[in-house]
Chain A
Amino acid sequence: MNKNTLLNISLGICQLAKILFIIIAIGITFVFIHVQIDKDFYSKVEFGLSKENSNLNLSNTDLNITSTWHVTNLSEELKNKDKTTIYKELFKLNKLTKTSLYLQYFKLSFVLLMFFLAVSEFQKIIESVKSHKTFGIQNVNSFRKIGTYIVVSVLFTMYTSVNFEQGGYSGFSISFNQLFLALIAFIMAEIFKEGNILKEENNLTI
């Protein structure tokens, strides 16, 4: 596979990812509006969060520092049932409080925006490599921006608090996958900075 084919494939993937982010953003906006108009439509949609109370738990490279579920005003009928059934019954999208719904929507939208911007910067880097401007200062800035976007999205998603009509969830978790990606982006920025210095020195050698 020659260099241009690889770069073209990467550009295509970036473009696809950006389209996907836009579709997801439109999708969640639609759900966000629709859930307020027709709540009953979402009566079977469960809210996907880890339903175990924990302190310091490492799962799927995410470090859950604390996560607690709480249930209030439980009906007599549900009291005798097991935990999973109660959670399934209570923590549904239609039972989400308005504040939580807005918070979750803005959180998701913001994270999507951060990823969209990070992919756009990566696309710029690939385009510059394609046009033989690999070690330009703009690529150093692009890698730094990618790192910053990822760190901001990690910080933004660190604390989760979701409240339902009868109970809710709150917890702290850190995504190591994303932090590792941010670290790689910052390291790449430093490598490209060195490359930029060498390129400038080479350009000024007559």
Chain B
Amino acid sequence: MSIIINLDVMLSKRKMRSKELAEIINITTTNLSILKSGKAKAIRFSTLEAICKALDCQPADILEFKED
């Protein structure tokens, strides 16, 4: 897919574990791993907002567009 999820990079920058983030933004670790692996078909604004709030970043820090 041409949209790349850079959640792993942000998590390591903030020194936060996936489980911790999942608890903060109130989603399951399974769903977070789907998001991280790029298998997700869509992301809700509410989830994106919660991730940005928890990691103190901008949506562009998590999502990146790359030509196929």
Enumerate chain A interface residues (CB-CB to B < 8 A): 200-201, 204-206
Cα of A206 to Cα of B43 in the assembled complex, Å:
5
**Mask of B29-68 contacts with A, CB within 8 angstroms, 1/0:** 0011011000111111001000000000000000000000
B residues near A, CB below 8 A? 27, 31-32, 34-35, 39-44, 47
Q: How far, in whole Å, are A205 and B31 apart by their CA atoms in the complex?
A: 9
Main DSSP-derived SS at the A contact region? mixed
Q: Identify the closest chain A residue to B39 (Cβ).
A: A204
User: A204 is contacted by which of B32, B34, B47 (Cβ under 8 Å)?
Assistant: B34
Whole-angstrom distance between the Cβ of B41 and the nearest chain A Cβ: 4
Give the 4 A-B CB pairs with smallest separation, nearest first: A204-B41, A205-B42, A206-B35, A206-B40
**22 residue pairs bridging A and B, Cβ less than 8 Å apart:** A200-B41, A201-B41, A201-B42, A204-B34, A204-B39, A204-B40, A204-B41, A204-B42, A205-B40, A205-B41, A205-B42, A205-B43, A205-B44, A206-B27, A206-B32, A206-B34, A206-B35, A206-B40, A206-B42, A206-B43, A206-B44, A206-B47
